[in-house]
Structure 1
Amino acid sequence: MKQEIDFIKFNPTQNMTILVNTEHPVEDYKYIASKIMSYDNVYAEQVGFIGKPLKDKADANLYMAGGEFCGNACMALAALVASRKNLVHNNFTKIFLEVSGTEELVMCHVKRSFNKYYCEIKMPIPENIEQRSIKYDKDYLETTVIQYKEFVHIVIEVEQFTEIVRRSAEGLAKLLGSTLETNLIGILLYKSKSNELAPLIYIPHLDSLVWERGCGSGTASIGAYLYWKNKEDIAAPIKQPGGTIKVMVNSNQGNLISLKIEGSVGIVAKGKAFIDV
C-alpha cells in the first residue's frame, strides 16, 4: 500500500530541502523523512514538516524530522510563505516562523529577485562557546564547542579538506551522537585562510550523516566562532561547496546580541511522493 505525501522541494545554497505539506502524526516523521529523502524517492539532504502556527504572530510552523533547528529550512519555508503572499520582483516582506529546536520566533526578511528569494534570518545565539580537546582514535583534537539549547556544533580548523580529515569527522560525529543527548551534531571543518566551510551534519534520531553543500546554522556558528576568537563584529561570506552564505554578528559591550545569516532560495519542485506504509 502506498501513501501520498504532498511536498515542495527547495534549493537553499544546494542544501536540498523537502518540506512536507500534508499533516501526519509526529511519530511518523522519522519514517516519512527517511523514505522521501532517499535516493530512490524525491531525494534531498533534509526534511521538514509544515504545520499550523500556535502563536498569533507566526506565519507558519516548521518541525524538522529529527526535531532539530535548521537555518536553511527556515529560509525555504520563508520563501514559500512569500511566494504564497504573491511577493513580486524587487519587493520585500517580513515573516515570522515557529520552528523546532528553538522556543523563539524566527524572523525572516525576504526579497524576491525574479524566481529567487533572498532571505536574511535571525539565528539562535549560542548558550556557550569554549575551546576543548576531544579524545578520538588515540589522539586529541583541538576543537571549539558551540553549544545551543537543542544542538551542538564543533568547529575544527584545518588546512585542507582531505579524505582522512573527513573520515575522522564522520567518526567523531557518530561517537558524540552516542554520548550526547542532543538533536543534532555538526562537525564544521573550517579553513580560516580562505573562509571555506565543509559542514557535516549528524542527526542521531534519524541516524542521518550528511556532508551538506550549504549549511545555514553551521554558517551562523562560524560567525559566532569568529566573534569569540577575534572579539569584534563580523560580516563575512562563508564559502561552501554549494555556494556562499553570509553571516553577520553584532555585539554590545562584549556580548553577542545578534546573529544573522543571508542566502538565496529557489523553489525547484512540488508534487506528490509515494511511500510504502
Structure 2
Amino acid sequence: MSKFSVVIANPAGNITAFVLDQNIEKSNYIYLANKLMDIKEFGIEQVGFIKKPTVGGELRLEMMGGEFCGNATRSFGLYIANKNGETSEKTITVEISGCSNTLDVETNVTNDYARTSMPLPKVIDYIKLVNGQLLPVIVFEGIVHVIVEDEEVSNEMYEKVKKEVINKYNSEAFGLMFLKSDKLYITPVVYVRETDSLVYERSCGSGSISIAIYLAKNEKDGVFTYDIYQPGGIIETKVYKEKGKVVKATIGGKVTLSDIKTIHV
C-alpha cells in the first residue's frame, strides 16, 4: 500500500483531485485516478497530477487521460496562489495537459475566486447522425464538445454521438453538452478515452466556454458574457470577438480547496 498527498478542488461541483507527489509515472495515472474516484466520500470526478513545468508555467498539471480541463486549470491556479501565500489578487501562469501553451489564471485567494484564459477553438464544426440530425461541435486541442440543444439527457444520444466523434476526431476526451437554451442550463457528460471513463459532471469549464462560443457565433465585435448554469452551480464565461473571430475566451467563478489529505491506496 502506498500513500499520496492530495488536495481536492470544488469548482462549481466538478470535484477535482490534485495529486501533489511529483514523482508519479504516467503509467500509474490511470490506476491511481480510478482508485481516487472510487472513494465515495469525496465524489471525485477527475484527477490531475502536479509536475514540474516544461514550457514556462509556475507548475504543470497533467490530467488523468492527458485531456484538457478548464475547471481544473482555474482551480490549479488558485491552488498555486494559496501555496505561494498570496493574500489578494494575483495572476498565475500555469501549464496543463491538452494545451501546448501556458494559460493565465486570475486568482483572488480572499474571495476563493479564479478566472482562467482558455485555449481558442481550432474549428467550429458539425457532425451528422445517422438520422440526418446535425449537431454543432467545438473542437479544442485536448477535448471536443458536442452541443445537443433542447433534448432530454440520454445514454442513447451519448452512444450515437460517441460513434461519430471517435470516427471523425482523434481527441483525448469529448463532452456532450445537453443545453436547455431558454435557461442557459447544461448537463455535461464527459468521456475520457485513456481511462475509458464516462462522468455526468456537476459542471464543465471547457463545455461552458463551448456553449458561449456557440451562442456568440453570429456576433462580429465585442465582449459577450454568459452565465452558464449547470447541476453544480454557475460558470461565468466571456467571449471576445473581432471581425467575427474569437480572439480570447475566459471562464471564472468560485473554487473551494481542501486541506492537504493523505490517501492510502
User: Does the 8 Å contact 1:142/1:156 carry over to 2?
Assistant: no
Alignment pair present for 1:171 and 2:159: yes
SS of the residue 1:140 aligns to: coil
1:209 corresponds to which residue?
A: 198
Shift of residue 166, structure 1, vs aligned partner? 2.0
Gaps of 5+ in 1: none
Q: How many residues end up aligned between the 2 structures? A: 262
1:32 corresponds to which residue?
A: 32
User: Does the 8 Å contact 1:176/1:185 carry over to 2?
Assistant: no
| Structure 1 vs Structure 2 CA RMSD | 1.8
User: Does the 8 Å contact 2:220/2:242 carry over to 1?
Assistant: no
The structure-2 alpha-carbon separation of the partners of 1:173 and 1:47, relative to structure 1 and needing over 3 Å to count, comes to farther
Q: Which moved more, 1:230-239 or 1:169-178?
A: 169-178
C-alpha distance in 1 between matches for 2:246 and 2:120: 8
Alignment pair present for 1:104 and 2:101: yes
1:258 corresponds to which residue?
A: 248
Shift of residue 40, structure 1, vs aligned partner? 4.9
User: Does the 8 Å contact 2:8/2:17 carry over to 1?
Assistant: yes
C-alpha distance in 1 between matches for 2:244 and 2:175: 26
Shift of residue 59, structure 1, vs aligned partner? 1.1
C-alpha distance in 2 between matches for 1:244 and 1:35: 29
C-alpha distance in 2 between matches for 1:168 and 1:234: 33
User: Does the 8 Å contact 1:234/1:250 carry over to 2?
Assistant: yes
User: Does the 8 Å contact 1:35/1:41 carry over to 2?
Assistant: no
1:13 corresponds to which residue?
A: 12
Residue identity matched to 1:45: E
C-alpha distance in 1 between matches for 2:193 and 2:85: 38
User: Does the 8 Å contact 2:129/2:164 carry over to 1?
Assistant: no
1:126 corresponds to which residue?
A: 121
TM-score after normalising by structure 2: 0.92
C-alpha distance in 2 between matches for 1:80 and 1:72: 12
From 206, 210, 227, the equivalent of 1:221 is 210
The structure-2 alpha-carbon separation of the partners of 1:206 and 1:134, relative to structure 1 and needing over 3 Å to count, comes to same
1:183 corresponds to which residue?
A: 172
The structure-2 alpha-carbon separation of the partners of 1:210 and 1:67, relative to structure 1 and needing over 3 Å to count, comes to same
The structure-2 alpha-carbon separation of the partners of 1:123 and 1:51, relative to structure 1 and needing over 3 Å to count, comes to same
User: Does the 8 Å contact 1:227/1:249 carry over to 2?
Assistant: yes
2:140 corresponds to which residue?
A: 148
Residue identity matched to 1:44: I
SS of the residue 1:149 aligns to: coil
User: Does the 8 Å contact 1:123/1:261 carry over to 2?
Assistant: yes
From 238, 241, 247, the equivalent of 2:228 is 238
C-alpha distance in 2 between matches for 1:231 and 1:144: 19
C-alpha distance in 1 between matches for 2:175 and 2:253: 19
User: Does the 8 Å contact 2:218/2:244 carry over to 1?
Assistant: no
The structure-2 alpha-carbon separation of the partners of 1:13 and 1:41, relative to structure 1 and needing over 3 Å to count, comes to closer
TM-score after normalising by structure 1: 0.89
User: Does the 8 Å contact 1:197/1:239 carry over to 2?
Assistant: yes
Residue identity matched to 1:95: I
C-alpha distance in 1 between matches for 2:162 and 2:124: 21
